Chain A
Amino acid sequence: MKAALFATSRYIGQAPQGVWPLPPHYCDPEIAARSMETTIEQFRLADVFGFDWVTVAEHHYTSFSMTPNPMIFAGALSQVVKRAKIAVLGPTLPVLNPVRVAEELAMLDAMTNGRVIAGMMRGTPNEYVTYNFNPSESRARFAEALEIIRRAWTEPEPFGWQGRYYQYRTISIWPRPVQQPHPPLYMSGSSPEAGELAARNRIGLGFAFTTVPAAAKAAAYYRAQAQEVGWAPTPDDIIYRVGFHLAPTDEEAFADMAATAPRVSLTTANAAINAAVAESTYYGRDTSQVTRTATRDLRDRIEQGQILVGGPETVVKQIARIRQEIGAGVLDCPLAAQLGDKTLRSIELFGTKVLPRIREL
């Protein structure tokens, strides 16, 4: 099994939680700069301690994740992270220019000599508000943008595109990706539509901030859909995102977590915006997603496979269950807490005490 460290460039100063958009006046630029340095150091350590990937993602208008453009952060990481793959999980396709996404990921692939993992995201609902897109069009935009990107990476001659949402008269990107025909592709989503699209496009699928039972069901559906179109996903085609915090003992890990404020997801941070997005048919058939990310008690979250907390022995057992029930081959692990040196220790413990034991799972 592989593991990725997902650090979101969280603001390390004081800022309200559960507010979106978060007013910029809460941001002290100097603390923001230190937050970026902290994150880069965490990624550097992850590389040293053997994580297979480091992960960056796109979110907007929040202190939880100060990487509105993950490509910029990935560019910086390309010069710091020397061994691990750099997973951009990812650009929020429906609100971006897909040709630009193809160009930037190809550029990153060249800068890392072929170490880019390309995750294509539909985005959290608030993201459509950011750039003023209609959420109800997000699935269709996503599917079309994905096809443009793949074609931009693989067509050897300039071509144009007459789509439903995108129109280009000529696309001819430089550089081409180092990984041929293109970097490994993933998308995310627990809904049947996501499973069908990933299977049809023969790409990997990631499950983020969900539960083990829900992800297991979605993974089985994805495999079944893939089988229908003639291929079989490997464990490496399935990513499960789960937060983690390790300490030398279970007691210390739980005490650390007890001292942190419960996380409020971006989706649930603003009930009014979320309700408006839900009205727009954004969720499709996957209405349960609305409540899946709601805040839960820590023990309940561990039981549901939403977070890994404990000493190394305990966390290995928690991961084994994820491997067994979902069949995921890649764990994408956000930092469950920003606790300074304790977080650095958590990264080291994961890399040195957990990673070697989950390799053969």
Chain B
Amino acid sequence: MAADKEHELTIGGARFRVRDAGQGEAVIWLGGSLPPALGARLVERGRVIELHSSETSMADARAIGDAVASLGVDRFAIIAQGDTAPVALRLALQMPQALRAVAMLGPRLIAANGEAAAAIDPALVAQLASIKAPCLAIFGTKDECAPPEAARYYRARIPGCNLIFVYDATEAMARERPEAVAELLLDFLDRGDHFIVRREEDLLYP
């Protein structure tokens, strides 16, 4: 993503590198560099803030919430890729009034057997039923880091969680199939749970 502004931010001892682009409704991106093709589509829709930090800071949901607030954003959606999904879900639990929606790309919170994945606090998994924000869990059908077999448990544990498989994609789905992922994310960010109802028309010749 081509950033309008790029700077560093320190909140309560946690240091973040911030890349900020676009205007309007804010979306926070967690999980490494936002692939340019996907970033360009998201910026067309509104403001996109990439937050980069060390693993330690990225585990601190409160620090991330404070960082976002310091950027003048009081309500936002979050897109968490890979192992940043736990912090996004913690934010959804801790700041329900601020979080509009949570989208996760290849989340690694729950193992293929339905239990908390290694290094994940089982208490967090147990709390997922309390999440109120619209949720979308996206899995690549060839993802070996976030096995598609685990996908069902997100749907089962998070009330109303939407589950989508991106065909023929690995954990790098945002780079491999940016058009497919962008279309999905934009529709979900715009309409939340209502995105299950198709809007596109099939009329061939008016």
Residues of A within 8 A of B (CB): 144, 147, 151, 155-164, 166, 169-170
Highest count of chain B CB atoms <10 Å: which of A158, A160, A170:
A160
Say yes or no: B196 contacts A162, CB within 8 Å: no
Say yes or no: A162 contacts B198, CB within 8 Å: no
Report the separation of the CA atoms of residues A316 and B198 in the bound assembly, to the nearest whole angstrom.
56
For the A-B complex, the count of residue pairs with Cβ-Cβ distances under 8 Å equals: 56
Indicate whether A170 sits within 8 Å of B167 (C-beta atoms), given known contacts A155-B152, A158-B155, A159-B155.
Answer: no
Residues of B within 8 A of A (CB): 138, 141, 151-152, 155-156, 162-168, 177, 180-181, 183-184, 195-198
Residues on B with C-beta less than 8 A from A160 are 162-165, 196
What is the chain B residue whose CB lies nearest that of A164? Answer: B167
Min CB gap A140→B, angstroms: 9
Residues on B with C-beta less than 8 A from A169 are 162, 164, 195-198
Min CB gap B148→A, angstroms: 8
Min CB gap B108→A, angstroms: 18
What is the chain B residue whose CB lies nearest that of A148? Answer: B167
Report the separation of the CA atoms of residues A162 and B198 in the bound assembly, to the nearest whole angstrom.
13
What is the chain A residue whose CB lies nearest that of B165? Answer: A161
Residues on B with C-beta less than 8 A from A156 are 152, 156
Say yes or no: B196 contacts A159, CB within 8 Å: no
Partner of B166, one of A151, A157, A162, A170: A162
Say yes or no: B163 contacts A162, CB within 8 Å: no
Per DSSP, chain A at the interface is mixed
Residues on B with C-beta less than 8 A from A166 are 167
Residues on A with C-beta less than 8 A from B180 are 162-164
Per DSSP, chain B at the interface is mixed
Indicate whether A164 sits within 8 Å of B165 (C-beta atoms), given known contacts A147-B141, A157-B156, A170-B196.
Answer: no
Say yes or no: B163 contacts A157, CB within 8 Å: yes
Residues on B with C-beta less than 8 A from A158 are 155, 163
Report the separation of the CA atoms of residues A144 and B155 in the bound assembly, to the nearest whole angstrom.
23
Report the separation of the CA atoms of residues A163 and B179 in the bound assembly, to the nearest whole angstrom.
11
Report the separation of the CA atoms of residues A163 and B173 in the bound assembly, to the nearest whole angstrom.
12
Residues on A with C-beta less than 8 A from B196 are 160, 169-170
Say yes or no: A162 contacts B152, CB within 8 Å: no
Report the separation of the CA atoms of residues A163 and B165 in the bound assembly, to the nearest whole angstrom.
8
What is the chain A residue whose CB lies nearest that of B184? Answer: A162
Highest count of chain B CB atoms <10 Å: which of A147, A156, A169:
A169
Report the separation of the CA atoms of residues A163 and B142 in the bound assembly, to the nearest whole angstrom.
13
Say yes or no: A162 contacts B155, CB within 8 Å: no
Min CB gap A131→B, angstroms: 15
What is the chain A residue whose CB lies nearest that of B136? Answer: A160
Partner of A157, one of B152, B177, B198: B152
Say yes or no: B152 contacts A161, CB within 8 Å: no
Min CB gap B69→A, angstroms: 33
Say yes or no: A157 contacts B167, CB within 8 Å: no
Say yes or no: A161 contacts B168, CB within 8 Å: no
Report the separation of the CA atoms of residues A231 and B141 in the bound assembly, to the nearest whole angstrom.
21
Say yes or no: B167 contacts A144, CB within 8 Å: yes
Say yes or no: A151 contacts B165, CB within 8 Å: yes
What is the chain B residue whose CB lies nearest that of A140? Answer: B168
Say yes or no: B167 contacts A159, CB within 8 Å: no
What is the chain B residue whose CB lies nearest that of A161? Answer: B165
Residues on B with C-beta less than 8 A from A144 are 167-168
Report the separation of the CA atoms of residues A163 and B140 in the bound assembly, to the nearest whole angstrom.
10
Say yes or no: B198 contacts A159, CB within 8 Å: no
Min CB gap B103→A, angstroms: 13
Say yes or no: A159 contacts B141, CB within 8 Å: no
Pull 26 A–B residue pairs with CB atoms less than 8 Å apart, ordered by A: A144-B168, A156-B156, A157-B152, A157-B163, A158-B155, A159-B151, A159-B152, A159-B155, A160-B164, A160-B165, A160-B196, A161-B164, A161-B165, A162-B164, A162-B165, A162-B167, A162-B177, A163-B166, A163-B168, A163-B180, A164-B180, A169-B162, A169-B164, A169-B196, A170-B162, A170-B196
Report the separation of the CA atoms of residues A288 and B112 in the bound assembly, to the nearest whole angstrom.
44
Report the separation of the CA atoms of residues A155 and B150 in the bound assembly, to the nearest whole angstrom.
11
